[in-house]
Structure 1
Amino acid sequence: MQDADREVLETAARWLAAGRTAWLYTVVRTWGSSPRPLGSLMALRDDGHLVGSVSGGCIEDDLVERLRAQGPPRARASTLEYGLSADEAHRFGLPCGGTMRLACETLGAHSRLDALLVALREGQLMRRTLDMRSGAVTLVRVQSSTQADAFSFDGERLTTMHGPSWRLLLIGAGQLSEYVATMALPLGYAVTVCDPRESYLDDWRVAGVARVRTMPDDTVLAMRPDARMAVIALTHDPKLDDLALMEALMTPAFYVGAIGSRRNSAARRERLQLFGVTQAALDTLRAPVGLYLGGSTPPEIALSIVADLTARRHRVPVDRLADVEAGKALV
Structure 2
Amino acid sequence: MHLKKHRKVMFTLTILYTVFILYFLFFAFGRAGKADQISEYTFMFLPDGFFRLPDLSDLLHPTVMDLVGFGNVAAFIPFGILIPLLYRMSFVRFMTLFILSILVLETIQAFTLLGSFDINDVIQNSTGAAIGFGAYKLGFRTKNDLRNIAVTVLSGIVLMIGVWGVFGVLDQVFTKEMGPFVAIHEWEDGTGVPITGTELAPLKIGGEEVQPQYNVYRSEGKNKETLTYKLGNKKELYLYFNYGIPDHLESQGSIKVTVDGQEMLSASAEAGRHEQGMGSILIEQGNELTITIEGDEALWDVGYREMLYSWE
TM-score normalised by length of structure 1: 0.27
Q: Which has the larger radius of gyration?
A: 2
Using the size of structure 2 for normalisation, the TM-score is 0.28
Greater relative contact order structure (CA < 8 Å, 6+ sep):
2
